[in-house]
Structure 1
Amino acid sequence: MEKSALDSLDQAIADAAGAAVHTATGGAVDPFVFRLAIFVLAIFVGYYVVWSVTPALHTPLMAVTNAVSSVIIVGALLAVGISASGAALGFGFVAVILASVNIFGGFLVTQRMLAMYKKKEK
């Protein structure tokens, strides 16, 4: 066999042995896999929650999402202000921009929804 084929075979055996030991000892789930599973489940739950909201609840829901975005922007401002690394500063800045767009867009949508309930003037 070639050296690269032996290396890949050794790697496969090592991976299988590691998985067997992990299973046999009752090891914990890898934190990355655990967080990824939570993220994927949150996507599905969020999708079904948002699409099952009746139109009468849309305006209160927008008010709540604006409040959540306000909390996010506070955290993003803290990340920008306290950060020592360039990556944290960049991610914090992007979070501030995206949360600001979300807040202002939410207010505009809420204003349009409330305008639909006003009586039209002649």
Structure 2
Amino acid sequence: MSQQLKVKVSDKAEGIVEKDIQNNVFNRRELYIKIYHIGSGTPSRKEIISALSAIYGAKEDLIVVKDIETVYGGGISYVRVNIYKNKEDLEKIEPKHLIGRDTGQKVKKGGKNAAKQG
């Protein structure tokens, strides 16, 4: 296996890309990253997205953080990220609430008024 890529998320958090999969079926790159942030909180989605955007040269709105799992008290988080090649594929595949979460937009979820949002 080739050398693992290092990702500097912030002054207090840095990680390594454990898996980098090119998924041609969905026209995206799938990353599995282990982030070390010992002594500080879990890095935000925005911090992770901006760090990956700088490294991979992808637009921030084409990067979706699928999930962040933090080991309790350990200062280590496991992050799953998809980087799309275009906006159309991203919008077809990813759930709307994840797209809105990463860009800071508020997306109305279920409930009786959800159908009215148009």
Q: Which has the higher helix share?
A: 1
Bucket of the pairwise TM-score, normalised by the shorter protein: under 0.3
Q: Compute the TM-score of the two structures, normalised by the length of structure 1.
A: 0.24
Q: Compute the TM-score of the two structures, normalised by the length of structure 2.
A: 0.25
Greater Cα radius of gyration, structure 1 or 2: 1
